[in-house]
Structure 1
Amino acid sequence: MNSRLIVLILIAVVILPGCGGHGANTIVIGGKKFSEQSILGEMYAALIEKNTHLRVERRFWLGGTQVVHQAILRGDIDMYPEYTGTAYEVILKQHSLKDPRKVYDAVKGAYAKNYHLQWLDPIGFNNTYALTKRQDKAKRTDIKTISDLAKRSGNLSAGFDPEFLERPDGWPGLAKTYNIKFASNPRQLDPGIVYRAVANGDVDIVDTYSTDGRIPAFKLMILKDDKHFFPPYYAVPVVRDEVLKKHPELKQVLNKLSGKISESEMQRLNYEVDQRERRPEDVAKEFLKAKGLI
């Protein structure tokens, strides 16, 4: 076998996805493309590095829900933080349950059976979808709930991120439930600019996550979901069965974060990264040290 062929084979082994690209003692943590996922990923990485002899590889900002879901199914990543309502609505395509415990039990059982993925213990906070409006405009127009918004939507404009525009637990279902009809179709906005768009008055309404630190920073107000359309979105680590069988100690290590982060705490952590531009790794470790976890 000539030297050129040997080099080509070695390159293929390194770059082919899903073909054992990481070692048996390496845990690959993935994440979606927003700061909260990186912060949580860094927390889990720090816990693993502190409490085990395993190496951690970080693959954050991979993409949206479907992208990360496919990555863990292929074995490109070993774990990532997911949200109960997202798994229930987007992956399982179910819509009937709203009770937090029942949704958690449903996704835990279905993921174990269908995907060989384990849902561990919830982290604590519920990062629900929400609609927001500038506080001053909301008070002036007396819009406090999504039902209030629906009555006045004909004179308002909206901008939503691409995933919210398509998800059944996003704009399509919300518009139908509340009969919302804006003056024109909602604009598609990159998640990084939605807050400035509403703060600058380019649009009146945007979608958000309830734990986003930019809500108070931009003086926005969350409209109450008075018809309880949005399901619960409790954050939970999802791990491949195979990984937990090889490294059973991981379950106890990862569950150290169980129940440790409230909505207000997660909002503050997101603020540190998104507004103060601090590194997710630093924010994560600072929090873990304050909680006595590392």
Structure 2
Amino acid sequence: MKKLILLLITILATMSILGCSSLFGKDTNTVIIGGKNFTEQDILIYLMKGVIEKNTNLKVETKAYLGGTSVVAQAIERGDLDIYAEYTGTALVNILGEEYVAPSSSEFVYEKVKKLYAEKKQIIWMKPLGFSNAYTLAMRADQANALSIQSMSDLAKQSGTLQLGATHEFLERVDGYENVKSIYDMKFESPAGMEPGLTYAACRDGNVDVIDAFSTDGRIIAFNLKVLDDDKHAFPPFDAAPLVRADTLKLHPEIADALNLLAGKINNEEMSKLNAKVDLDGKSPNVVANEWLSDNGFL
């Protein structure tokens, strides 16, 4: 009897440390969707959750704001996540460690990462969602128009008289400022390093003339900024698409059909508006995602 009691105590202690799911296996009728630590990723979690729960019998657990790219990429490879949304350029350069050869089309980069992920990571890329959250440079629209600056090549010609304010990460990344400076022969005298949350307002208020930006950030529209055309393709494409573990798809092939309902349905302007509803209007990502799904006939 004492041995039985000791055995039960041992089992209960193990369950408390590892969790029941670790002992008895993950619930195969539940999939886990995660995301990185910024607004857009949070919205995408709930968009994917909505179409999966509407079009399959699966339940979805969400894990938002897990961290940066490396954290989330490692989580899906370990099996801690089944699904998350990634960007083709990030996957190519930062995760796979491949060199970006400019210019490369969106289709070329997508097909390359899709193939390498399937072969090396057993992770499957779904169809692109329709928008590209690309690195870019931006200016106040009125200033850009007054100076006839439409593209980064236009900017380069006048860069010696303009002030660049950029995030520290952009200034330090090999595919960031040094890359743009080399390709376009930029002549900014003393780029100012800034925290990410300060650059957009600094540009709006005239404290700097040019900033690094993400093309779907809602503050671009709200602050009347102009995204400059990367006419020499210094930055790789950053097309967004859902990623799913191959073993998860083998168990639940219906996930692919559900997620691919979103393919091509969200353009850059639409994603910017969704981001702005969260960042500027204070709405929750869950509410914003479900409103969009409902308004567009997905729910």
**TM, length-normalised to structure 1:** 0.89
How do 1:151-190 and structure 2 match up within 5 A? Answer: 151-190=157-196
Secondary structure at the residue paired with 1:236?
Answer: strand
Structure 1 equivalent of residue 296 of structure 2: 291
Instruction: Tell whether 2:230 aligns with 1:221.
Output: no
The aligned residue for residue 198 of structure 1 is 203
Distance 1:268 1:70 in 2: 30
1:249 correspondence with 2:265: no
Q: Where does structure 1 lack aligned partners over 5 or more consecutive residues?
A: none
Contact 2:171 2:193 in 1 (8 A): no
1:11-30 matches, within 5 Å, as: 11-14=16-19, 22-30=26-34
Opposite residue 124 of structure 1, the aligned amino acid is G
Q: Matches of 1:54 and 1:262 in 2, distance apart?
A: 28
Partner of 1:125: 131
- Does the CA contact (< 8 Å) of 1:84 and 1:107 recur in 2? yes
In 2: Cα distance, 1:101 partner to 1:240 partner: 22
| 2:15/2:23 contact within 8 Å kept | no
How far residue 166 of structure 1 moved from its aligned partner, in angstroms, is 4.4
CA distance, structure 1, for counterparts of residue 16 and residue 273 of structure 2: 43
Deviation for aligned residue 1:36: 1.4
Q: Is the 8 A contact 1:13 1:21 kept in 2?
A: no
C-alpha contact 2:221 2:272 (8 A) present in aligned 1: no
Most deviating of 6-15 and 142-151? 6-15
Q: Deviations over 1:181-226 (max 9, x none)?
A: 4332441422x33211222333332221222221121111112212
After superposition, the C-alpha distances for 1:257-286 in whole angstroms (9 at most, x for unaligned) are: 111112222122122112111111111111
**Counterpart position of 2:3:** none
Unmatched tracts of structure 2, length 5 or more: 1-5
**1:90–1:167: 8 Å Cα contact kept in structure 2?**
no
1:235 and 1:68 mapped to 2: Cα distance? Answer: 15
1:67 aligns with 2:71: yes
Mapped to 1, the partners of 2:17 and 2:162 lie a distance apart of 53
Closer, same or farther: CA 116–161 of 1 in aligned 2, 3 Å:
farther
CA distances 1:120-155 after superposition (whole Å, capped 9, x unpaired)? 111112222210112233334443322233333344
Match of 1:47 in 2: 51
Percentage identity across paired residues of the two chains: 45
The one-character-per-residue Cα deviations of 1:7-33 (angstroms, maximum 9, x if unpaired) are: 6533420399x9998533221111122
- For the 8 Å contact 2:32–2:60, the answer to whether it is kept is yes
Alpha-carbon distance between aligned partners in 1 of 2:211 and 2:126, rounded to the nearest angstrom: 32
Q: Give SS of 2:19's match.
A: helix
Q: What secondary structure does 1:133 align onto?
A: strand
The count of corresponding residues between Structure 1 and Structure 2 is: 292
Distance across 1 between alignment mates of 2:135 and 2:81: 26
Q: Give the 3 Å change call, closer, same or farther, for CA 58–260 of structure 1 in structure 2.
A: same
Give the alignment of 1:209-288 within 5 angstroms.
209-288=214-293
CA distance in 2, matches of 1:163, 1:70: 21
1:105 is displaced (CA, Å) by 0.8
Do structure 1's residue 114 and structure 2's residue 120 form an aligned pair? yes
> How far, CA to CA, are the matches of 1:189 and 1:220 in structure 2?
18
TM-score calculated relative to the size of structure 2: 0.87
2:99 matched to 1:99? no
2:82 touches 2:248 (CA, 8 Å); kept in 1?
yes
Displacement of 1:45:
0.5
Output the CA distance in 2 between the equivalents of 1:232 and 1:189. 24
TM-superposed CA distance for 1:100, in Å, is 1.6
Contact 1:159 1:189 in 2 (8 A): no
Kept in 2, the 8 Å contact 1:14–1:21? The answer is no
Q: How far off its partner does 1:78 sit?
A: 1.1
Which one has the largest radius of gyration?
Answer: 2
Aligned mates of 1:165, 1:63 — CA distance in 2: 21
State the AA in 1 paired with 2:73: H
Aligned partner of residue 62 in structure 1, secondary structure? coil
Say what the alpha-carbon RMSD is for the aligned residues: 2.6
Q: Distance in 1 between matches of 2:17 and 2:168?
A: 34
Counterpart of 1:90 in structure 2 is 94
| Cα gap change, 1:142 to 1:215, in 2 (>3 Å) | same
Q: Secondary structure at the match of 1:40?
A: helix
- SS of equivalent residue, structure 2 residue 190: coil
List per-residue Cα deviations over 1:23-76 (Å, max 9, x = no partner): 332211111222111111101111122222222111122222222211211112
